[in-house]
Amino acid sequence: VDYVRSVDYLMYGLICVVLAPPAAVFRTLQWDTDPSALQLQADSELGRRMHRLGASKIVQIDFVPKELVTYTKETQTPSAAHQSEEEEEDEESSELKASPQTDQPEEEGEAEDSKEAHPRELTEEEREQILHSEDFLVFFERSVSVVERALAEEGDIFFDYSGRDLEDKEGDMQGGSNLSFNRVFHDDHWSKHRVVTCLDWSPQYPELMVASYNSNEDAPHEPDGIALVWNMKFKKTTPEYTFHCQSSVMSVGQIVLWDNRSHRRTPVQRTPLSAAAHTHPVYCVNVVGTQNANNLITVSTDGKMCSWSLDMLSQPQESMELVYNKSKPVAVTGMAFPAGDVNNYVVGSEEGMVYSASRHGSKAGIAEMFEGHQGPVTGISCHNAVGTVDFSHLFITSSFDWTVKLWSIKHNKPLYSFEDNADYVYDVSWSPVHPALFASVDGMGRLDLWNLNNDTEVPTASVTIEGACALNRVRWASGGREVAVGDSEGRVWIYDVGELAVPHPEDWSHFARTLVEIRANRGDGEEEGAVELPA
């Protein structure tokens, strides 16, 4: 079963890059030559056939317009806007504007001088025709999107008080004032029965985030890979954009690129199925660089790292195999770049080891190994809150071994191990603004916020999300005031982080002291074999 694994939100325009790991079944793909088709057709060994989209039977709500008394009034002066002279009449509430080409039906009962009576109505065929026309459908889609946003907004301007609670705030949803439930994004059609595989926030529009989902086992005819863009700003509960790709082609790891600017729902580019690219599931994707000069870096589970230019996904710009100590390649499960670094990065592996690596230079490839986890590494995050002290050498990892570990790139053993969880920890993420704050999520539905300046033994704030089974992904919004959490049921939960999220200038020096304490207390077990690594 194939699914969408990871997604990254890029800067210009809005490009979602989605990766899909493979399925056991290799399926051939044929492109539908009809450019207006929204989905690809794929033959399948399992005999699954794509649904060809077409018109379905429509229930027509029919009516017969009443006989209307109408009149037309010609405009005096033709102009760009069809403006006509308004004459207020006492009995009339409004006047008809004539459009040059047709007559208009008028409100019954407001009889005026009736020059012509044209109760033009549409026949069944005419109506059908309109409803099927491309013009209409385009109008419909756009208008519906706008109206839905408007519908969700309430008439706040008329209230003296903001007594309206936007969302239900049940007791167990709260994590105290520090961590409070904001909303949940879920689409009955698209995200039900799908696991959230990745989340990312838009660097350009802070209220937008994209979530990728894997396939819906209950609905084999639905697309395998989908990505939904959700909008935090408006209260409407439906996604802004929906992207899908029939990733049944992804028997090997492929990368597909959707371009939101083109408003197509299917990918605009995809990488080839060739040995030059990835032949194994791609679990990590990262865009590094600036808005103008950037590269897409991808790593697959067979340890192959490729660097791509987004303009051309037909072949990677460079690729290398990540091998440690000249032995077998690393099965990479996660990758992270420290803030501002485009060359050096860290990866987590299935075996539980973490490695540092670099893209270029004399020692390109895997550099050091970091041992500590006893199970596959599920998430890895580099420190990126910029402040008075540089902590960019720090990174954190989460693992199946129920722990989160804090590392420095300078030591091959963990600086600290956080052991407050009782299940697989699925993801971990540093706050983008607070130097000592990170979030972690586990398989029991727990979202934890750790403020290391406050306590290193237990999370500073924690909430168990009711109704969520396992939490797969956690990502901070760019402002560091909200976290998005994806679960195994296709829901994306947005939590507001209160004062806890706001960094103070002394937090940096405080964290530096905290690190010193951590190192000092590092315990004998950790010290064995610890090696100071060359910078």
98 vs 469 by CB, closer to other proteins:
98
Residue type at position 156: D
- Residue bearing tokens 């530096």: 512
State the nearest-atom distance from the C-beta of 467 to other proteins, in Å.
21
In the complex with other proteins, the residue whose CB is nearer, 92 or 172, is: 92
For residue 268, the minimal CB distance to other proteins (Å) is 12
Whole-number minimum distance, CB 210 to other proteins, in Å?
17
Q: If DSSP codes are grouped into helix, strand and coil, which group holds residue 152?
A: helix
Minimum CB separation of residue 9 from other proteins in Å reads: 17
CB 7 to other proteins: min, Å? 20
Helix (H, G, I), strand (E, B) or coil at 296: strand
Our CB check for other proteins shows the closer of 77 and 292 to be 77
Burial of 470 (0-12, 13-18, 19+ CB in 10 A): middle
User: Residue 54 or residue 171: which is nearer to other proteins going by CB?
Assistant: 54
Which residue type is seen at 462? S
Question: Dihedral, CA atoms, 246, 249, 252, 257, nearest 10 degrees?
Answer: -50
Nearest to 255 by CA among 321, 309, 196, 204: 309
Q: How far apart are the first and last CA of the chain?
A: 43
Question: Residue 375 contacts by C-beta under 8 Å, 6 or more apart in sequence?
Answer: 352, 399, 400, 401, 424
The least distance separating other proteins from the CB of residue 355, rounded to whole angstroms, comes to: 42
Q: Return the number of the residue (107 or 318) whose C-beta is nearest other proteins.
A: 107
H-helix or E-strand spanning residue 124: helix 124-132
Contacts of 271 (CB under 8 A, 6+ apart): 254, 255, 256, 277, 278, 308, 313, 314, 316
What are residue 127's phi and psi, to 5 degrees? Answer: -65, -45
* Burial class of residue 363 in the structure, from the number of CB atoms within 10 Å of its CB (0-12 exposed, 13-18 middle, 19+ buried): exposed
CB burial string 50-63: b at 16+ within 10 A, e below: beeeeeeeeeeeee
> Of 221, 201, 222, 219, nearest to 210 (Cα)?
201
User: For other proteins, which is the closer residue by CB, 38 or 117?
Assistant: 38
Task: Tell me the three state secondary structure of residue 139.
Answer: helix
Supply 50's token pair: 């794509």
Angle formed at CA 444 by CA 441 and CA 445, multiple of 5 degrees? 55
Min dist CB 263 to other proteins, Å, is 5
Q: Yes or no: say if 168 and 480 are a contact pair by the CB < 8 Å rule.
A: no
Q: What is the CA radius of gyration of the chain?
A: 28
β-pair partners for 29: 42
We find the least distance from the C-beta atom of residue 57 to other proteins, in angstroms, to be 9
Contact assessment for residue 518 and residue 408, using Cβ atoms and an 8 Å cutoff: no
- 66 or 360: CB nearest other proteins: 66
Report residue 176 as tokens: 């105290």
Least spacing, CB of residue 131 vs other proteins, in Å:
6
Tokens of 436: 């000592």
Nearest Cα to 472, choosing from 492, 495, 494? 492
Shortest Å, Cβ 34 to other proteins: 13
CB of 233 to other proteins, least distance (A): 16
Shortest distance in whole angstroms from residue 194 CB to other proteins:
19
Contact 486, 472 (CB under 8 A): yes
Give the number of other CB atoms < 10 A from CB of residue 65.
11
Q: Smaller CB distance to other proteins: residue 59 or 293?
A: 59
Closest approach of Cβ 14 to other proteins, in Å? 10
Contact set with other proteins (CB under 8 A): 36, 38, 53-56, 58-59, 61, 63-66, 68, 80-84, 86, 94-97, 99, 102, 104-108, 120-122, 127, 130-132, 134-144, 146-148, 150-152, 154-155, 158, 238, 261-265
User: Looking at beta carbons only, is 28 or 102 nearer to other proteins?
Assistant: 102
Distance of CA 140 to the CA centre of its chain: 25
